[in-house]
Each structure stands twice: as C-alpha cells, then as structure tokens.
Amino acid sequence: MRIGLAINYAGGFKEVAAEVADLERAGLDIVFVPEAYSFDAVSALGYLAASTERVQLASGILQLYTRTPTLTAMTAAGLDYVSDGRFTLGLGASGPQVIEGFHGVPYDAPIARTREVIEICRRVWRRENLQYQGKHYTIPLPADQGTGLGKPLKIINHPVRERIPILVAALGLKNVELAAEIAEGWQPIFFLPEKAQQVWGQALAAGRAKRDSVLGELDVYAGPMLAIGEDVEPLREFVKPQLALYIGGMGAKGKNFYHALATNYGYGSQADRIQELYLAGDKDGAAKAVPDELVRDINLIGAPGFVQERVAAFREAGVTTLNVVPIAGTPAERVKLIEMLRELID
C-alpha cells in the first residue's frame, strides 16, 4: 500500500517544496497537487519535479472543462518529461460552482466528456495524427465551424511514455463505472471501507468487466486525515468543519454530490440537518451535526493500534494508496506522521 499526500493549494508551493523533499525521504510515495480556484497545479508540479527525485507526482485534479483535451495531453506529457516519468494525470469534473462560477464554462455531460478527454490524451501520447470525432470534441474542427484550414497534427515531442497513468476522481455511479473501465486509478472522497462495496461495488464490477487488461489492476486512492497517538482522538473534531462544508455547502439542495454520498453511507437524516444548518449560515452548528462515527471511520485518527486496524480495513476494501492529510502544525511533525504510518503499513 502506497502513501500519498495532497499539498495545501491555499499556500505557496515554493515553501512546500522543501517539505515534500523531506517527506519523500520519510517514505512518501506520491504527492498530489490540487487545482480548485487557486494557483494552477501545473506550475507547482513542475516546481516539485525539479526539487524531488523519487516521489511520484499527480494532479489532484485537473478539471475537464478548463483546458482543451489536447492541451491536457500536452501538459501531462510535459510534466512526465520534466519528472522523468513520475507523473500521473488526475482528472475530474469538479462541480458547477467552480466551473460555471469561476471559469464561466457550462458544466455539462461530465461522464461523456471524461471518456472523450481520456481517449484524446492517449492518442496524443501515442503520437498519432490527431483525428477525433466525438459528441463533445471534434478534431480537427470541421470547416463549417471554423476556417476550414485545420488539419490532423501529432505532438512534436516524443513523450517519455505513451500511456501516462490516468486517475479519475469520481463519486457518481456512472462515473465510477467509467473510471473502473478506462482509467488506471480511481479517486473517491470520504472513503468509508465498510460501506464501499454497498455504495460502489456494482459500479466497480460493471466497469472492471469491460476493462482492457493492458491497464492492469485498478488503483484506488482514499484520502483520510491522519493523526497517530494515544491522545489524538480529540482531533477528530478538527475534521468536522471540512465535512460540514462538503456535505452542507458544496452545492444546492438536490445538487450536492457529497450530501448524496453521506446519505448512501446511511447518514441521510444527519446529512439533511448538516445541509439545512450550513445553507442557513450556521457553519458551527453544521459541524457539530457531523456524526462522530463517520469522522472516525473515514479517517486515520487514533492510537497506533486503531490506525493499524483501519489501514487493514482500507486495504481489505481495495484501497491501494492512502492519500493522507496529516494533522500537524509543523513540517517535522508531518514527516514524523508519514514515518509512523509507513511503519504501520509495512
């Protein structure tokens, strides 16, 4: 089981780079750079490629709608080149609040667009003369939609790999099925091992039944918060505001993927209450309404024995990478947590 970590997109990545190098030495396997409505992820990934040696680098995630599929492929090939083949392309649809609210682009057909973007990326990396006829992307652009001067081109450079690993961040059943079918990896959020089969089992099985064997086994990336110690259980309260934000505030009623997930986990009435309070402006009340059991079971916060048991539960549920968020105040403390987790996993 690998250990991953997402850097904080609210901070400056120049300051983070030295810490990532230390985490690499502590046993970190992969680092994710998010891209919400922050600094772009690509700048940070290039910076990290130059300041690390072994750790894998991943976008977590690049949003489908903010780049053309071809530019996404070019960017991934460039990052794979500067990192000597250490890049994983994390893709996701994000949500309408960011895509329409910050980028001014319609949020439509995320599942179909995911498939088409992945297909186009792989053609670019294989250095094919790019011709693609999809429902959402047509390359070259037809004459009746442009000047008529477009012609099939292939990427000038030779990519380090013709199949850069792709992981898809997905929660909806159809998108999870798609990830299991065509991507190297799947990244859910708020992964609860004991309920994973109940919520996603059929979708994963349906996708795997159509999966090309060349892709290998599906990597599953879970993202628990991490704190290890005999006296760290009170830190579970630290997690509740984030869960309240997602369950209560990331979308309107009926349009919130995270509220739906909590409901599918069996916390429907609590999710409704969290959303009601959050949308009414009572963020503290919403955080207090987050169930203790949910916080306990989706994270790695507790004594070493408890954390080791939960790691085993994640592994049993099919998780191959723990993309952790260490709860620590200093870089040295975060390094120590990664070292401790490495020992518990091994």
Residue 263 binned pLDDT confidence (cut-offs 50, 70, 90): very high
User: Distance between the two ends of the chain, CA-based, in angstroms?
Assistant: 8
Residue-wise pLDDT for 193-242, tens only, equals 999 999 999 999 999 999 999 999 999 999 999 999 999 999 999 999 99
The residue written with tokens 């991943």 in the block is 58
Give residue 309's Cα distance to chain centre.
24
Name the percent of the chain lying above pLDDT 70. 99
Provide the mean pLDDT of the chain: 96
Name the percent of the chain lying above pLDDT 90. 93
Peptide bond into 61 cis (omega under 30): yes
SS3 142: coil
User: Domains in the chain, start-ordered, CATH in brackets?
Assistant: 2-226+300-345 (3.20.20.30), 233-299 (no CATH)
Residue 206 is predicted with a pLDDT of 98
- What are 83's two structure tokens? 């990192």
Residue-wise pLDDT for 4-17, tens only, equals 999 877 677 788 88
Hey, which bits of the chain come out as E strands?
2-6, 30-33, 56-59, 62-63, 87-92, 132-133, 138-139, 166-169, 185-187, 219-222, 225-228, 300-302, 321-326
CB 322, CB 2: distance < 8 Å = yes
Residue 205 is predicted with a pLDDT of 98
Residue 127 binned pLDDT confidence (cut-offs 50, 70, 90): very high
Q: Which of 111, 335, 307, 312 is nearest to 227 (CA)?
A: 307
Residue-wise pLDDT for 279-302, tens only, equals 999 999 999 999 999 999 999 999
What is the pLDDT averaged over residues 10-36? Answer: 89
Q: How far apart are CA 1 and CA 18, in angstroms?
A: 24
Residue 70 is predicted with a pLDDT of 98
Residue 337 binned pLDDT confidence (cut-offs 50, 70, 90): very high
Residue 16 is predicted with a pLDDT of 85
Residue 342 is predicted with a pLDDT of 97
pTM over 0.85, yes/no:
yes
Residue 95 is predicted with a pLDDT of 85
